[in-house]
Structure 1
Amino acid sequence: MAKRNYKGTPGLAVRELLASDDGTSDLYAGTASVYVKCGDPVEHPAPLHEYLASRLAHSLGIPVPFGELAAIRGSDRAWASAVVGASGKGAPPGDVAKAAAAEPHVFAGICVFDVWIHNVDRWEENIIWSPEMGLWAIDHERAFGEFNPRTEESLQEHFDAVSVPFQRESVLPRSEFADRWASLIRQHGPYWAKVATEAAHRRKLANRPVLKQYEEFLSYRASTIFSLTSKAFGFSPGLF
């Protein structure tokens, strides 16, 4: 991955302000930079996985850039997410050890979230961290064990699978923080999964039988999240 420049004011860069007729004198319509992942409209894993992961992350409280489905070339759909960086440029990959030390609670949350959704692609290239920006998780198309709903494979094959986030960097989350995140997932995960998959169906990202697999996958893994995190990170079973 090419090195990303990081200069200027942290946050979104609004490139243009246009007058708005929505009723207040200080409200404008603005344009800003986004990253776009294109895919065929139906059951394509990139937009589907990005959408589900984004909805679930926001429900849990994991910092991910805002994103939504986007119309491309009139009718093609893609996933578009805000560029979180400086002056409209993406921030550089984060130093995992520094990020974990500076924001151990958020770092643990990202790790446990990745275990829950079985994200097999969490390295330093897929986080953003700096003292100014804080810690953010990005890129989730390879969640759900890279499951492709267009194949004959079943998500059930991944129900108990574990991929350790940041394994290459050998940095583990702190168990006391990980347990708190796991407790939230165990308590609320099935409901969040139901809401996210229903919203994905309304957006015609996949049909109901396919999305039912995702809901069952997430609900099952929410119920076993403590054993999954124990397997991933070598923790004793959680006490929360």
Structure 2
Amino acid sequence: MGYFDVALWGARIEDSSGGVSHLRLNAYARKNTAERPFAVVNDFIASSLGIAAGLPVPPGTLVGVYGGGYNYASLAFGDRGDKPPPVIPPRFCEERPWEACGIIAFDHWIHNTDRHDRNIGHLPEVAVAVFDHDLSLLNETKSSEEALSLLAQSRDVPVKHHFLPPHLKDVSHFAEWFERIASVTRREIRRAAVAAHSAELVSAELRDALVAFLEHRQTRIGSFIEQTRDQYQNVDSWTLDIEEVDSDS
């Protein structure tokens, strides 16, 4: 039982020297489809950067599949193999305001327009998990040309209808998340984009555009949230500090 409660369906433990064992862990694998040809790169880059920022994203990586290509595989979050039930937004924001602020800030960074009650896992006695980022970044674009155009058009666009803000009462945690996200280095952002390019998931031009897009939005999250302030109907005291943090370090 770790921070992410990994379901050990059919677990097989083999004795090995030095106390090392082999385990079969439950995981989910995302693949590209005709409708979402950039689903893998979206999920991989976004999840990698979520982990770098300290968001509770299940560990994952690119995995080569038989016949060629890559999937994005991530450890499953749940209690003994059971998927957690959908979160109840008012309860989640009341009990987990720190995570709620982090999820909102992160989704503005990666321009994730598909956050809902089934891609946040919340087990009150265990932890929180945030997953399924296939509709962030390049969304459902079908070609590199469409993807480049989307990045240019959404460069300064906030996430306008996130499902958590109407239920949030405490925005005091945003400042920490602005700093956390701003602290993710250019090297880390580029590392994820380069890995996607090396796996032939994106072109070199799209790789560089993704890096530029993420660096541009990285220190503007406070401004995005300020632009959507009308969604925070339950916040009595608006203490949001939108001073941009220098990310040139």
TM over 0.5: same fold? yes
Q: CA deviation at 1:200?
A: 2.3
Distance change in 2, residues 1:149/1:209 (3 Å): farther
| CA distance, structure 1, for counterparts of residue 165 and residue 116 of structure 2 | 8
Q: CA deviation at 1:46?
A: 0.8
Deviations 1:164-206 (A, max 9, x none): 4643782236322112211332343644322321232333322
Q: What secondary structure sits across from 2:71 in the alignment? A: strand
1:34 is the counterpart of 2:38: no
Q: CA deviation at 1:36?
A: 1.9
Contact 1:186 1:225 in 2 (8 A): no
CA RMSD of aligned residues (A): 2.5
Q: What secondary structure sits across from 1:68 in the alignment? A: strand
Q: What secondary structure sits across from 1:36 in the alignment? A: strand
Q: What secondary structure sits across from 2:22 in the alignment? A: strand
Distance change in 2, residues 1:146/1:84 (3 Å): same
Match of 2:78 in 1: 85
Taking the TM superposition and a 5 Å limit, the aligned residue runs for 1:148-227 are: 148=141, 150-153=143-146, 154=149, 155-164=151-160, 166-167=162-163, 170-172=166-168, 174-188=170-184, 190-227=186-223
Taking the TM superposition and a 5 Å limit, the aligned residue runs for 1:56-135 are: 56-135=49-128
Q: What secondary structure sits across from 1:17 in the alignment? A: coil
| CA distance, structure 1, for counterparts of residue 100 and residue 222 of structure 2 | 17
1:48 is the counterpart of 2:41: yes
Deviations 1:78-135 (A, max 9, x none): 1221111022222111112212111211111111000111000011121111212322
Contact 2:144 2:203 in 1 (8 A): no
Contact 1:230 1:237 in 2 (8 A): no
Q: What secondary structure sits across from 1:80 in the alignment? A: strand
Q: CA deviation at 1:157?
A: 0.9
Q: TM-score, normalised by structure 1?
A: 0.83
More strand by share: 1
Aligned AA (2:197): H
Distance change in 2, residues 1:109/1:87 (3 Å): same
Taking the TM superposition and a 5 Å limit, the aligned residue runs for 1:128-147 are: 128-144=121-137, 146=139
Aligned length: 227
Distance change in 2, residues 1:147/1:39 (3 Å): closer
Distance change in 2, residues 1:165/1:130 (3 Å): farther
| CA distance, structure 1, for counterparts of residue 105 and residue 61 of structure 2 | 23
Q: CA deviation at 1:35?
A: 1.5
| CA distance, structure 1, for counterparts of residue 81 and residue 140 of structure 2 | 32
Sequence identity percentage: 24
Aligned AA (1:150): S
Q: What secondary structure sits across from 1:144 in the alignment? A: coil
| CA distance, structure 2, for counterparts of residue 46 and residue 37 of structure 1 | 7
